[in-house]
Amino acid sequence: MPTEPTKTKSESILSVYCPTFKRLVIINKKNWETHIITEHPEVENHLLGLIKNTLEGPDSTVNVFTEIDPPFDILLYKNCPHFQPKNNYLKFAIALTEKTGYVKSIYPVFDVPKKGVTKYECK
């Protein structure tokens, strides 16, 4: 597993325990501001509650996969009516370290992947 980056509490916009991954998942403030909402403006600040709830308590509307090719990110798909009819899911790309998960990106997509992934199994 990758080495855990050094983070401080003030650098994260969201930090929640995710039972699916059995570890803390963090959205870094710099990544939120310079990548997620810049590159994907449809994922606005008002969705932070939905994002937090999805990570804290995934339900039957969530699918989780592992990429079979590098970088082996964990891909979480939340069925999300906010983006319909163009898109049906909110996709989270998450890098897991031994103790923590780091959200790399979040953006709407039309469907869950049909190939290139396997169902996620927590280790």
Decide: 30 and 8 in contact? Cβ < 8 Å.
no
Tell me the C-alpha to C-alpha distance, in Å, between residue 28 and each of 46, 67, 112, 117: 17, 22, 25, 25
pTM beyond 0.95, yes or no: no
Question: How does 47-70 read in b/e, with b if 16+ C-beta sit within 10 Å?
Answer: beeebeebbeebeeebbbbeeeee
Mind listing the pLDDT tens digit for each residue in 74-97? 999 999 888 888 889 999 999 999
CA distance 23 to 112: 24
Closest CA to 49 of 19, 30, 27: 27
Distance of CA 71 to the CA centre of its chain: 15
* 59 Cβ contact partners less than 8 Å away, ≥ 6 residues apart: none
Mind listing the pLDDT tens digit for each residue in 25-68? 999 999 999 999 999 988 887 789 999 999 999 899 999 999 99
Residue 80: Cβ within 10 Å count = 19
Decide: 30 and 38 in contact? Cβ < 8 Å.
no
Give the model's confidence band at 22: pLDDT under 50 very low, under 70 low, under 90 confident, else very high: very high
pLDDT of residue 111: 93
